Every structure is written in structure tokens, then in C-alpha cells.
Amino acid sequence: MGVVVFSSHSLRSPFSTSPLSLSPLRPPLPPSKPPQISFSTSSPQMDPQIGGSSKRFMDFPYVSAPHRDLMVELVSTMESRLESSLLPCTLPQDVQYYHNHTGTAHACLHIRSGLKPSLIDFMLGSWLHCELPAGALNITSLSTYLSPLTDAPNFLMELIQSSPTSLVFILDLPPRKDLVLHPDYLQTFYEATQLNRHRQLLEKIPEVRPYSSSSLYIRFLVSPTAILVRIETGGTERMEEIVRHHVSSIAKEVLGTWLDWCACGERDMGEADRDYVAKRDRMIKQKTIEIDLGSSLPRLFGEEVAARVLAAIQEVFN
């Protein structure tokens, strides 16, 4: 699970009960903001604009201002709080930014591995823009996996915008232990942190509906306080208002909770505990590639680009 994972997952709609429901009747949508990237069908390695990949990642083009502001703030907060544990992003330039041959799908990927030993396994941010027959799809996401030095939950956020008036909002601290067998873990990270109140707040907004992944594995991966909602508004202004006033404040608060409660220190774990957590983490990463990226990336970006990006992600995952 992670940014790219959920993003690409979403392309096959693991969070909905039917194939990605971009209405075939909807005309192609213009980007909500003029693209800041020039499309090139030449090899990305040769793209003269590739130099500032990290800046390009932080551009979060195409999405609305409140959406972009939120992503920039979350990534900045995450990086500044975890800076001492993070290595620089060392992905190849043509993985930090990649696109398909026709320039209809392009994406930025930003992965920073954690120093060893540290609590951080890696931090992963991404954005993706696809012009699909039914309209433009924009996905932005941020997630951080912790290392087996702690069993505390990971962080995961993803915003999937299939039109300016339709947004799927996924926010969770996915558990790294079986909560049924470890009710103390549930108490520490989910009950004491009152994470459920965010979900309850969102449920009061009339435009918000529950959102269910079509992947049973993904459904079980998230915590019982996970936010998985679809927001459908009558107009773009109302969507921007909801993102600015509700989505943003909840996302920032949950990130704050995660930084304070989960990413803050080692946990008292025995050797067997660490082995168990490491094994579970490995399984999640493996399933993520298997269920998700391995099928959706080739479809959107072609075999060659997908193979390159997958290989780079696999390297971080291992």
C-alpha cells in the first residue's frame, strides 16, 4: 500500500464495487489548471525539463488550489519532521517523472528511503494525471512506511479526482499488527488518539458517501478508523470549499497524530515481534505490486515505462 499503490489501484478501482466509474457520457474534461509541464514523446532521460524533479513533484499540477496547497503542506510537514531520518530521493530521473508515449498519462514519483537504522522504511509521494476517454483523472498521494524497529501504524493518504466535482478521499494509519489478537494496539493507536472522530465529522457533510474498495485485500488492510469516502458536489466551488475546510484540516490533523504517536520512537518489541512485523510488511508490499501496480502501470504507461517504474519501486520495497 502506498501512494503509487493506491493510485494505480484506483485505476482498476479497488475502492469501488465496479470498474472505475468514469462516465462514458462525460466529455473529456480540461485540466483544472493549465499544465506546467511540457509533454515530450522523446525519452524522458533526454527531457531538458527533468532536472528539477523534486520541484516538479511538488508542483501538483492540474488539481485545484486547495488540493495542491494541502499536498504541498503535508509533504513539507512530513519531510521537515522526518528529515533527520530520510535519505535524498535517488530514483532515476525517468522514474521521478514518467509519461506514456502519447503524452496522455504522466506522473511524478518521489521516494525517500529511511536511514538505517531508523524508524522510517520509506516515504513515498506521487501525483498522476491521465486523460481518459471519459475525462481527466488526477491522483495525488502521500504515504510513509515505518521500519520493523517499531510496530506503529504507517501513514497513508490519497486523493482521487475523477472530475472537478468528484473526489475520493482515503486517509488512514494502516495497522501493522492483527488488531483482533492485539487489542492493546487498537487502544494505543486508534482509541486513545480518537481517530474515529474525523470519520464521524466527515459523515455529517451531505455530499460525503462511504467508499468501498473492490479489492478485499485492501479493505482488510486498513484500520477500523480509516476514512474511505467519495465526495460528489454540484459544482467545483463547493468541492474546493470541502477540500479547504474539511479534507485539509482532517488530513493535517491525522498526519499530526501519526507524527506524534507513531513516528516518534521505538516500541518495546521482542525479536519475534520484529520478525512478525517485518514479515507482514513484506507481504503487504508484495501483494501491492501483485494486485495493483503490475497490471495498471503497463496499461496506462506501456510495458517499457511500467517495467522501469516497477523495478525502481521494487528496489525500495526490498
Provide the binding-site residues for a second copy, judged by CB under 8 A. 17, 178-181, 183, 186, 190-191, 196, 200, 203, 210, 216-217, 219-221, 223-225, 279-280, 283-284, 287
Length, in residues, of the chain: 318
Q: How far apart are CA 234 and CA 70, in angstroms?
A: 22
Q: How far is the CB of 13 from a second copy (least distance, A)?
A: 13
Phi/psi of residue 214, each to 5°? Answer: -80, -15
Contacts of 53 (CB under 8 A, 6+ apart): 89, 91, 93, 96, 97, 108, 110
CB 66 within 8 A of CB 236: no
79 versus 207: smaller Cβ distance to a second copy: 207
Q: How far apart are CA 302 and CA 101, in angstroms?
A: 8
Of the chain, the end-to-end C-alpha distance in Å amounts to 14
85 versus 225: smaller Cβ distance to a second copy: 225
75 versus 284: smaller Cβ distance to a second copy: 284
184 versus 268: smaller Cβ distance to a second copy: 184
224 versus 265: smaller Cβ distance to a second copy: 224
Q: How far apart are CA 100 and CA 107, in angstroms?
A: 9
Outline where the chain has alpha helix (H). Answer: 3-11, 53-59, 65-82, 93-96, 183-186, 196-203, 216-221, 236-242, 248-261, 271-288, 294-317
Q: How far is the CB of 15 from a second copy (least distance, A)?
A: 12
DSSP secondary structure letter of residue 31 = P
Q: How far is the CB of 177 from a second copy (least distance, A)?
A: 8
Q: How far is the CB of 213 from a second copy (least distance, A)?
A: 8
Q: How far is the CB of 225 from a second copy (least distance, A)?
A: 7
Nearest Cα neighbor of 205 from 182, 232, 187 is: 232
155 versus 190: smaller Cβ distance to a second copy: 190
Phi/psi of residue 71, each to 5°? Answer: -60, -45
109 versus 229: smaller Cβ distance to a second copy: 229
Q: How far is the CB of 255 from a second copy (least distance, A)?
A: 20
Q: How far is the CB of 73 from a second copy (least distance, A)?
A: 28
| C-beta neighbour count of 220 within 10 angstroms | 8
